[in-house]
Amino acid sequence: MSSERIPLIGEKFPELEVVTTHGKLKLPDYFTSKGKWFILFSHPADFTPVCTTEFYSFSKYYPEFEKLNTGLIGLSVDSNISHIEWVQWIEKTLGMKVPFPIIADQLGEVAKKLGMLHAQSATQTVRAVFVVDNKGIVRTILYYPMELGRNIKEILRVVATLQILDKTGRVAPANWPNNELIGDNLIVPPPGNVEEAGLRLKQYKGYAWWFTYSEAPKEEAEKVKKLAPT
């Protein structure tokens, strides 16, 4: 078992120097110096069926990530030569250009630092996803098993929703913006004292003083509806 601790949500993303298909890069500076969010995601291996479908989908939705001021960067323990050959194959055979860099982590050093290695294999990475904001703070961590491909639209929903929550100071219910109880409204964080608690149901709609909600910015909510999984 690796002694490296996975960076936690709310912590700074570790500073890393990586070799990629776009040259040597420094993380998180490569993105944050431009004021961008980024998603670092790992895959078990190049030239495998599930990973190929994921890279096709990440590339298809890349313009949507760009609209959210969010970059992408992949990773596996394959060599840079393998990565380059694979993305060329994807473009030639499937007609999809992979526009983002992929980290060649042959020694597994980055994977160990980020806790990405599979329990049954010291040489294969799980399907991990790190969502990092433009200040270099880890905002979301998702892990999928090797046999389950990721839902790329759900990752888009996560980023878009986090950005709205940062602007509004609200929190999002399950399945937002299509929640079964409050629709596309956002939850007001619980009050911090008795006086505020007594005012909540006078200020906002809700089911209890600790469960109130308010309208989300309509235009932004509609954008997320289009991005969210159906």
- Catalogue the active-site residues: 51
CB 162 within 8 A of CB 131: yes
Pairwise CA distance, residues 184 & 206, whole Å? 14
Residues contacting residue 195 through CB under 8 Å, at least 6 positions apart:
none
DSSP-assigned states of every residue in 105-136: -TT-HHHHHTT-B-TT-SS-B-EEEEEE-TTS
Structure tokens belonging to residue 210: 């600790």
CA distance readout (Å), 67 to 42, 62, 135, 223, 227: 22, 9, 18, 11, 12
CB 188 within 8 A of CB 170: yes
Residues contacting residue 230 through CB under 8 Å, at least 6 positions apart:
none
